[in-house]
Chain A
């Protein structure tokens, strides 16, 4: 149980284009999902907390107009990187909490974004 999937696993795009990454909870409902980014040899940095049916809460320093998050259902959250630039190249990982009372985050397999 508690399986989280991400799509796509890898994406390469040109500078200035937008990229959408999907995060799905496959066997449970996730009221809250989180989006992280991870640079090589570094740990996970929380970007935003996504709550179903409401606006995402962004961490300090994360541009909400650049990283658009939508959590339209209890099993799907999307992250759209708008007007991507090479410095946005990173490993993006989502996680989800089972239900509303659990505390453990279960992570997706990650999406490797490369902006040329």
Chain B
């Protein structure tokens, strides 16, 4: 069964305290893994796409990595404005199918 699991469900960090979010997947025919940020009451905002194991992408304090079974979103020296829910999604079948994880709610305290 195709599944995307994110952990932890919630994460509280102090400002400047680096950490990682995990997204593990069991999806056949993976075409790409996506990370999104979602603020309360808003639609997801695109962050990264990763296509193959070993690939890494960075944007400001965020770095996403991909293996054959999971992806990590590393947050370096987070700031309060990084507080949001981070969603990962896996695309298959020519990207006509997207499977979303349940998200990690990140809270960064000043």
Q: Write the residues of chain A forming the contact surface with B, with a CB cutoff of 8 angstroms.
A: 2, 4, 6, 32, 34, 42-46, 49, 91, 93, 95, 97, 103-110, 112
Residues of B contacting A2 in the complex (Cβ-Cβ under 8 angstroms): 46
SS of A interface (majority): strand
With A and B bound together, what is the CA distance between A19 and B20 in angstroms? 41
Pick 13 A–B contacts, CB within 8 A, sort by A: A32-B96, A43-B100, A43-B102, A44-B87, A93-B43, A95-B43, A103-B49, A104-B34, A104-B46, A105-B89, A105-B98, A106-B46, A108-B43
Size category of the B interface is 20 to 34
Is A43 within 8 A of B101, CB to CB? yes
A46-B98, A93-B43, A107-B36 known; 13 new pairs, CB 8 Å cut-off, are A32-B96, A34-B98, A43-B101, A46-B97, A49-B96, A95-B43, A103-B31, A105-B34, A105-B98, A107-B45, A108-B43, A110-B42, A110-B43
Residues of A contacting B42 in the complex (Cβ-Cβ under 8 angstroms): 109-110
Tell me, yes or no, whether B91 is within 8 Å of chain A by CB.
yes
Q: Tell me how many residue pairs across A and B have CB atoms closer than 8 Å.
A: 50
B49 to chain A, nearest CB (A): 6
With A and B bound together, what is the CA distance between A97 and B34 in angstroms? 13
Is B41 within 8 A of A112, CB to CB? yes
With A and B bound together, what is the CA distance between A104 and B95 in angstroms? 8
B49's partner among A4, A34, A45, A104 (CB-CB below 8 A) is: A104
B55 to chain A, nearest CB (A): 14
Interface string of B34-48 (1 = CB under 8 A from A): 101000011111100
